[in-house]
Each structure stands twice: as structure tokens, then as C-alpha cells.
Amino acid sequence: MAASFRHEFEHPTLQDPKLSKWWARAAEYRSGGFDRLLVPAPWMRTSEQLTATSVRGEVFAHAQIQLRPGRRPPTTSSSSGSGPASLSAEFAWELAGAWRTAMVDDSECILLWAIPTWEQWGVLRTGPW
């Protein structure tokens, strides 16, 4: 990251000049957001492994989970019947990625779900509860 930051911030615009057209175009589509440096969970599959196992979804969803500072992020299984394992079992969502944020107090993690169909996404959004 140090090398990346050095490259970006050495320029007067604080951006890589080669990417200026890209940033200008991308700004047209942004309405907000946030930046994070993410560290993958040790058990997370690599891009190559995800591709080889054909992780696919008609839609992908991410979850930003707030934790008490220093608390460990959730794992892929849960003995309580809640959390990532239950979403996989009950809704057929596949956990495609899990990260903790770097350079902070471990107060959040990001999960990325591959959801087979829009209808399976809709079930969680509308209930059965």
C-alpha cells in the first residue's frame, strides 16, 4: 500500500494522471460512498478459486457489519443458527468474500454474497417474517 500511496500522492492532483479521464467519467456515476482498505479473511477463496468453482449470481449483495472495536468478525459458520452459514443454508446465497478493514480498530467487516436469482434476493428483502 505504501508504494500505491506514493504513486498516487506524488502528483499535484493527488491522482495518477493516467487515470484522470477514468476518474472524471466515474464521478458521473457516483452519488457517495466510502473508501476502505480491505484485508481478506484467512479462509477466503482467491479469485482463481472462485472462478474455478464457478461462483455465480444474478445479483451480488454486500453487507457492512459494525462490530465492537477489537471484536473478531463473524466466521462462515455459526452455532446460534444466525449469521453467514444460515443465509447460505436458508436462502441459497453463497459467501463469495469476507474482509476486515485495515488500519482501523477492527470495528467493521464487509461480506459479499453471490445470490443465484433476483427472487432469492427478494425473499430476504420482503420477509417471510
- For residue 78, the model assigns a pLDDT of 39
Q: Domain extents for the chain?
A: 1-33, 36-126
3-state SS class at 4: helix
Model pTM greater than 0.75?
no
Q: How far apart (Å, rounded) are the C-alpha atoms in residues 33 and 16?
A: 20
| 3-state SS class at 7 | helix
Query: Is 99 in a helix, a strand, or coil?
Result: strand
Q: pLDDT tens digits, residue range 89-120? A: 777 889 999 998 888 888 888 999 999 999 98
pLDDT tens-digit readout, 2-14: 998 898 889 888 8
Instruction: Report DSSP letters for 38-90, one per residue.
Output: EEE-TTPPPHHHHHHTT---SEEEEEEEE--TTPPPP-S--TTS-SHHHHHHH
CA dist., res. 27 & res. 48, Å (int): 30
Cell 482498505, residue?
37
